[in-house]
Amino acid sequence: DAGVIQSPRHEVTEMGQEVTLRCKPISGHNSLFWYRQTMMRGLELLIYFNNNVPIDDSGMPEDRFSAKMPNASFSTLKIQPSEPRDSAVYFCASNPDIGIPGELFFGEGSRLTVL
C-alpha cells in the first residue's frame, strides 16, 4: 500500500480564497483524522471520521472550516475564506479500527501558506 496520500503538498494562496485539501486513507482503514500542526499549538485534532461518518468536529476552529468524507477512500478539508492565521501544515491520518487503539498512519502533510 502507498500509505496515506495527501494533496497538494504545498499550497500558497491569498487571503479570502478557498482552499481544499485532499486525503486518501490506507485501504481498509475505517477511521480518518485531520490534524493541524503549528509551532505554537503543536498537533491539534480538527475532526475525525469513522466509516465515513464525522464523529467529532469540536476541534474545527470556526465555521470557515469544513470536512467531508464521501466514501471510504477520500476525504476533504475545506477552508473558505482562508486567512493568514490558517497557515500551517495539515496532516491526515488513518487507523484500521477506531475502537482499537493503535498506530496512526500519517500522510506527508499539506503545507498551507495564506498571504
Partner 1 sequence: GENVEQHPSTLSVQEGDSAVIKCTYSDSASNYFPWYKQELGKRPQLIIDIRSNVGEKKDQRIAVTLNKTAKHFSLHITETQPEDSAVYFCAAWDSGTYKYIFGTGTRLKVLA
Q: Which chain residues interact with partner 1 by CB under 8 A? A: 31, 33, 35, 41-43, 45, 48, 50, 55-56, 91, 98-99, 101-104, 106-109
Nearest approach in angstroms of CB 110 to partner 1 is 11
Rank residues 30 and 81 by Cβ distance to partner 1 and give the closer one.
30
Nearest approach in angstroms of CB 79 to partner 1 is 21
* Cell of residue 23, nine digits: 486525503
Nearest approach in angstroms of CB 106 to partner 1 is 4
Residue 86 has phi, psi (to 5 degrees) of -80, -5
On whether the CB atoms of residues 22 and 4 are closer than 8 A, the answer is: no
Rank residues 74 and 106 by Cβ distance to partner 1 and give the closer one.
106
Rank residues 81 and 106 by Cβ distance to partner 1 and give the closer one.
106
Nearest approach in angstroms of CB 44 to partner 1 is 8
3-state DSSP call for residue 23?
A: strand
Q: How many CB atoms lie within 10 A of CB 9?
A: 11
Length of the chain in terms of residues written: 115
Strands 5-7 and 53-56: unpaired
Rank residues 15 and 43 by Cβ distance to partner 1 and give the closer one.
43
Strands 105-106 and 88-95: antiparallel
